[in-house]
Amino acid sequence: MEYTILILLLPFLSFLLIGLLDSRLKPGAAGTFGTVVTGIVAALSYWTAFSYFGGGRNAEGLFPTMIPWNAEWLPFGGNLHIDLGILLDPISVMMLVVISTVSFMVHIYSFGYMKGERGFQRYYAFLSLFTMSMLGLVVATNIFQMYIFWELVGVSSYLLIGFYYTKKEAIAASKKAFIVTRFADLGFLIGILIYGFYTGSFSFTPDSAVIGSAKVFLPIALGLMFIGGAGKSAMFPLHIWLPDAMEGPTPVSALIHAATMVVAGVYLVARMFPLFIGYAPEVLHITAYVGAFTALYAAVVACVQSDIKRVLAFSTISQIGFMIVSLGVCTSADPHEGGLGYMASMFHLFTHAMFKALLFLGAGCIIHAVHSNEMSAMGGLRKYMPVTHITFLVACLAIAGIWPLSGFFSKDEILAACFGFSPVMGWVMTFIAGLTAFYMFRLYYCIFWGKENKELHAEHTPHEAPLTMTIPLIFLAVVTLFAGWIPFGEFVSSNGQAYHIHIDWAVAATSLCVAAAGIAIATWMYLREDRKVADGLAAKFSGLHKAAYHRFYIDEIYQFVTHRIIFACISTPIAWFDRHVVDGFMNMLAWLSNQCSWLIKGMQSGNVQKYGIWFLGGALGLTVILLLI
Amino acid sequence: MDFSTILTYMYTEIALVGVIIAALLYDLIAGARGRKYFHGVMCTLMLLFIAGTVWPYQQENASIFGGMFVYAPIYSIVKSVLAIGTLLVFLLSDSWLRKPDTEFKRGEFYVLTLSTLLGMDFMVSAGHFMMFFIGLELASVPMSCLVAFDKYKHNSAEAGAKYILSALFASGLMLYGISFFYGTTGTLYFEDMVPMINGSALQILAMVFFFTGLGFKISLVPFHLWTADTYEGAPTPVTSYLSVVSKAAAAFALMVVLIKVFAPMVEYWQTLLYIVIVLSITVANLFAIRQKNLKRFLAFSSISQAGYIMLAVISGTPYGMTSLVYYVLVYMVANLAAFGVITAVEQNSDGKVNMEDYNGLYKTNPKLAIVMMLAIFSLAGIPPFAGFFSKFFIFAAAFEQGFHVLVFIALLNTIISLYYYMLVIKAMFITPNDSPIATFRSDNSTRLSLLLCLAGILILGLASSVFDGINLYAFGM
């Protein structure tokens, strides 16, 4: 399967070509090229998945882990070396399919969405760069390669969030995203270094004899790595960058900030899962609590946002919380004995990527039609945009967890895993699932039903998006409709053995009821043109409403801590010291260098006799010094 | 010893002699039409020569001619590096050679350059001081002709005179040192000398004198004074050759002799190098700050780079040798890229070589400005360009042997060097200019050489296999 290297090389070449030619390439040519390349990559990924899973299990009942391509890049001696290569195992192959599918859809969609934008070529170049980095991240053969691509993903996300670089908010958002995730990545890097130091390798599966000697440092290293993952996956309190990242073009939000990059943290934990479960189960459970709190927090905030992309952003944070919880509640590697969460998490990652991308792309169509992100500009859009309406509804039903859509199946497994861990966790997550149904349908009704903003729509009649944009919607909607029936456990499970998914109808019935209740409340509150109940509640609990609308002032707390405490009390004095003492010393050195260079200027007189004297004098002087020492 | 043994171990030199003879004959025979292709023919010949000799054929050390000539796989690698440098110089010299006043002696340029290369190869492979000295002279005498190649130009002639006078002086001193060794050991064979080396006062004097001869070629302070004047006056392609190939060959030869012959005096030569390194790096940096002429500027930059190269030599280990070869390779592509840009600009703008002339170059010739920028980044050792890795390895080599303070001084000096390197970039990209150098298209040969250099700057650092590949052979030293 050596051809898998092409999956990385093709998007990279496409990035180089489009990026270097830039405006010398016609926008259409750049877009077509990027899209065709991504299409080939998607085809290759499917073929890889087909032949990998089609290759069957080995004697131990596992899908063999394959490294079809590997190069030792930086040897440090011993087992410690950094490799660049391609690793195929069930989760990486699954991720290849997810990433290339969503990326391909986004490439097509962007034709319509970005039409006529300045920097169309640049946009496609960055998309290619992102695709390459994300694919490289999932097929990494070792933790360091993962880190390299991890950073590349961060950079491409930064570039794409700041795509509209003349817009102040976009610049601020891109910086925020970069700094926050970079800050978290510091934890990741330290974790990798500790890991490398104590296990003597960067491999995902180090020698078990060596691990024993790492003792307490292995959990520490894994915990630090999780901080990196929490940054990328927007876990509380490092989630603050994701809502702002919505300043980027909407297809980018769909690709990076919904389907692929933000689940990198989940993927990281899944990748390190054998180590977590074997040597640091406490750390794994901590991640579950972090994930659960994040899921709850983000769901509450999502209930009151008025910007549709922000609602989706918080919903993404909440759903990633679900995936992390699901991994975190695992208590063993056996899916029958408390290891169900691993499979559930990966399954949810897969289904979520599809329906969340669909939601974002749908939101993109709406924004394209009404030229605003605010719900107040929408309402009653169902008659103008039938395709968007139906596909959006499908995605909303899926995320709410309604049978037989894909979200139902994956969420059911997650809830089953949570109940297996502890009833409290199970009920909390069920409640959040209900909240999810509520806020998604609030969003749906506010966009497509409810009170229409007639003035705005008269001025500029909303229209259905062009085919390039609706085809990806339809495709993803079809996937969302049927993905739940994939026997996912046959491919991915915590110990690699085939796991036959069976629906736990007690859990399923509860979650269905809760979801239906959520939808019903949303219908009751938001379906009609006047929203007496909703407005009344908002007025009654105005304090809570305001706090939730302002995301519980987390950003303000950050502002306070960074500006008032760190900048004012630590950075300013250090800056003074730097300006006056460090720079002063350096300036003195510079001044001294300058003076010295004037002093010795005479040496270079241009007079060859004098050169001879220096030459001989130097030789004799050196001899004398050597004799004296 | 029959001819086949000679061919087995001396294949590089024999092939090179073949190339020289071919150049001579072509120069004699080719008519007006044939001369048009002279450049292409020579570059192809060099390419074939490199392709044929780039990796060592024999994996074991051997000596022939009774120990006069020594073969080792790492020497073969060193010679390949030198040959690649020469080819790059050939490529970027075409625009200059095409001028009417040099066109008719184009053949001489090739023959002279290749003769110096032959001398360097022999110098590296020498097993006897006489052989060594002959190699050195073969590398020096044609070099002075090259420096004075534009002999009707005052600068070039003056540079040639200064070079030959300094070279004579250095050779004299070196021979004097060698004669002391003969006096104290009774032999000039490297292997036989080792047991007799004891670090007596006379031998210390002799070693320093011997060192001056190579210190002159590598242009280490205080034997460097000719450098700036010669670099400035010599035709730019010759300057580039002097600054990389000639310097590199001498550095290799020095390291070989120090390790092989002067091993018993290791403390002495390490002290000697210690002083010379500190002096070279610091003094050259102080001078470089003030330069206005880019060729003079690069002369001082190359003196300070020579100081860094000596960091690899001072370690005296196989790892040091690997770092040395690697450093030289990386330095070669970066420096040749810089000189390539200077040559292109000089040939297309009536000889502009001053720093002010480069103001606003990015506006008119963006590609050249970017090549120059990357070359300078690599010279200054900024990651992720090759120069960063090569500096890292030589620092590591010296650090491993306990030269902590020395490495620290070298590090401090890289900061000073960063300042003056950035001056060039500032001139090209930031300083505004009402009348910048006009936009021009450089010839294909120059473009090719710049492209190769650029590939080297970008790839050599990241492809760890290069360093590992060299390292594989260094242990055979």
State the Cα–Cα distance between residues A175 and A158, nearest whole angstrom.
7
- Number of residues in chain B: 477
Residues B253-273, mean pLDDT to the nearest whole number: 92
Q: Both tokens of residue B2?
A: 């029959």
- Does the pLDDT at position B229 exceed 70? yes
What pLDDT, on the 0 to 100 scale, is given for residue A185?
Answer: 92
Reduced to 3 states (helix: H, G, I; strand: E, B; else coil), residue B348 is helix
Choose the weakest-confidence range: A197-201, A621-625, B68-72.
Answer: A197-201
Which residues, including other chains, have CB under 8 Å from residue B36's CB and lie 6 or more apart? none
Chain B CB contacts of A604 below 8 Å: 225, 228, 287
Distance from CA of B198 to the nearest CA of A (A): 13
Provide the residue ranges of all domains of chain B, joining segments of one domain with +.
3-475
Query: Is B271 near chain A, with CB under 8 Å?
Result: yes
DSSP A249-274: -HHHHHIIIIISGGGHHHHHHHHTHH
State the Cα–Cα distance between residues A140 and A86, nearest whole angstrom.
6
What pLDDT, on the 0 to 100 scale, is given for residue B31?
Answer: 84
The answer to whether the predicted template modeling score (pTM) of the entire model surpasses 0.80 is no
Please say whether the beta carbons of B436 and B363 come within 8 A: yes
Nearest by CB to B212, which of A596, A600, A619? A619
> What b-and-e string marks burial along B384-404, b requiring 16 or more CB atoms within 10 Å of the CB?
ebbbbbbbebbbbbbbebebe
State the Cα–Cα distance between residues A114 and A177, nearest whole angstrom.
22
Residue-wise pLDDT tens digits, B342-392: 999 988 888 888 888 889 888 889 999 999 999 999 999 988 899 999 999
Higher pLDDT, residue A581 or A551: A581
- Preferred mutation among A74, A80, A626 to probe B, highest tally of B CBs within 10 A: A626
In B, residues 75-104, which contact A (CB 8 Å cutoff)? none
Helix (H) or strand (E) holding A75: strand A66-75
| Helices A608-628/B201-218 angle, 10° precision | 140
Which residues, including other chains, have CB under 8 Å from residue A349's CB and lie 6 or more apart? A98, A263, A266, A267, A323
Contacts 24+ apart (CB under 8 A), B200-207: B201/A627, B203/B265, B204/A623, B204/A626, B204/A627, B204/B265, B204/B268, B205/A623, B205/B177, B205/B180, B206/B177, B206/B178, B206/B180, B206/B181, B207/B177, B207/B262, B207/B265, B207/B268, B207/B269, B207/B272
Q: Which chain A residue lies closest to B206 (C-alpha atoms)? A: A623
State the Cα–Cα distance between residues B271 and B289, nearest whole angstrom.
28
Residues B242-268, mean pLDDT to the nearest whole number: 92
Q: Give the mean pLDDT of chain A.
A: 87
Q: Is the ipTM of this complex over 0.90?
A: no
Residue-wise pLDDT tens digits, A146-161: 999 999 999 999 999 9
Residue-wise pLDDT tens digits, B61-79: 888 888 899 999 999 999 9
Please say whether the beta carbons of B393 and B327 come within 8 A: yes
Q: Both tokens of residue A99?
A: 């990433």
- Please state the φ and ψ torsions of residue A118, each to the nearest 5 degrees: -75, 135
Cβ contacts from A onto B, under 8 A: 81
Residues B249-257, mean pLDDT to the nearest whole number: 93
User: Of B146, B109, B309, nearest to B233 (Cα)?
Assistant: B146
Q: How confident is the model at residue B477 (pLDDT cuts 50, 70, 90)?
A: low
Which residues, including other chains, have CB under 8 Å from residue A3's CB and lie 6 or more apart? A44
Please say whether the beta carbons of A453 and A379 come within 8 A: yes
Residue-wise pLDDT tens digits, B165-184: 999 999 999 999 999 999 99
Q: Which chain A residue lies closest to B389 (C-alpha atoms)? A: A74
State the Cα–Cα distance between residues A359 and A109, nearest whole angstrom.
13
In which residue are the tokens 């003035």 written?
A: A455
Instruction: Please count the CA atoms within 13 angstroms of the CA of B131 that sit on its side-chain side.
Output: 22
- Is A73 within 8 Å of B468 when comparing Cβ atoms? no
State the Cα–Cα distance between residues B83 and B73, nearest whole angstrom.
15
Helix (H) or strand (E) holding A227: helix A217-232
Nearest by CB to A604, which of B170, B173, B225? B225
Q: How many other C-beta atoms are found inside a 10 Å radius of the C-beta of residue B4? A: 7
Residues B83-112, mean pLDDT to the nearest whole number: 91
State the Cα–Cα distance between residues B345 and B361, nearest whole angstrom.
10
Reduced to 3 states (helix: H, G, I; strand: E, B; else coil), residue A500 is coil
Residues A255-284, mean pLDDT to the nearest whole number: 89
| Helices A467-482/A386-400 angle, 10° precision | 30
- Is B283 within 8 Å of A600 when comparing Cβ atoms? yes
- Does the pLDDT at position A96 exceed 80? yes
What pLDDT, on the 0 to 100 scale, is given for residue A407?
Answer: 87
Please say whether the beta carbons of A129 and A156 come within 8 A: yes
Helices (H) and strands (E) in chain A, counts: 27, 2
User: Of A354, A314, A348, A471, nearest to A103 (Cα)?
Assistant: A354
Choose the weakest-confidence range: A92-96, B79-83, B470-474.
Answer: B470-474
Chain A CB contacts of B272 below 8 Å: 622, 626
Residue B99: exposure state from Cβ atoms within 10 A (0-12, 13-18, ≥19) = exposed
Reduced to 3 states (helix: H, G, I; strand: E, B; else coil), residue A450 is coil
Chain A residues bordering chain B (beta-carbon distance below 8 Å): 72-75, 590, 593-594, 596-597, 600-601, 603-604, 606, 608, 610-612, 614-619, 622-623, 625-627, 629
Please say whether the beta carbons of A100 and A38 come within 8 A: yes
Q: Give the mean pLDDT of chain B.
A: 91
- Number of residues in chain A: 629
Chain A CB contacts of B173 below 8 Å: 615-616, 619
Percent of chain B residues past pLDDT 70, beyond the cut:
99
Which residues, including other chains, have CB under 8 Å from residue A514's CB and lie 6 or more apart? A430, A431, A433, A434, A437
Angle at B282 between CA B276 and CA B287, to 5 degrees: 120
State the Cα–Cα distance between residues A399 and A243, nearest whole angstrom.
19
User: Of B68, B77, B141, B81, nearest to B111 (Cα)?
Assistant: B141
CA distances from A27 to A19, A23, A38, A254, B225 (A): 12, 8, 17, 22, 57
- Does the pLDDT at position B475 exceed 70? no
Distance from CA of A345 to the nearest CA of B (A): 37
B62-64 and A81-88 beta bridge pairing? unpaired
Q: How confident is the model at residue A319 (pLDDT cuts 50, 70, 90)?
A: very high
What pLDDT, on the 0 to 100 scale, is given for residue B24?
Answer: 94
State the Cα–Cα distance between residues B306 and B243, nearest whole angstrom.
9
Reduced to 3 states (helix: H, G, I; strand: E, B; else coil), residue A408 is helix
What pLDDT, on the 0 to 100 scale, is given for residue B147?
Answer: 93
Q: How confident is the model at residue B119 (pLDDT cuts 50, 70, 90)?
A: very high
Q: How confident is the model at residue A139 (pLDDT cuts 50, 70, 90)?
A: very high
Reduced to 3 states (helix: H, G, I; strand: E, B; else coil), residue B325 is helix
Instruction: Please name the amino acid found at residue A152.
Output: L
- Does the pLDDT at position A593 exceed 70? yes
User: Of A352, A351, A401, A399, nearest to A512 (Cα)?
Assistant: A401
Residues B16-44, mean pLDDT to the nearest whole number: 92
Angle at A88 between CA A84 and CA A91, to 5 degrees: 115
Higher pLDDT, residue A591 or B403: B403
Nearest by CB to A626, which of B225, B271, B283? B271
Residue-wise pLDDT tens digits, A597-621: 788 777 788 788 888 888 999 999 9
What pLDDT, on the 0 to 100 scale, is given for residue B1?
Answer: 65
Residues A545-573, mean pLDDT to the nearest whole number: 82
Residue B175: exposure state from Cβ atoms within 10 A (0-12, 13-18, ≥19) = middle
What pLDDT, on the 0 to 100 scale, is given for residue B130?
Answer: 93
Higher pLDDT, residue B290 or A44: A44
What pLDDT, on the 0 to 100 scale, is given for residue B135?
Answer: 94
Residue-wise pLDDT tens digits, A16-26: 999 888 788 88
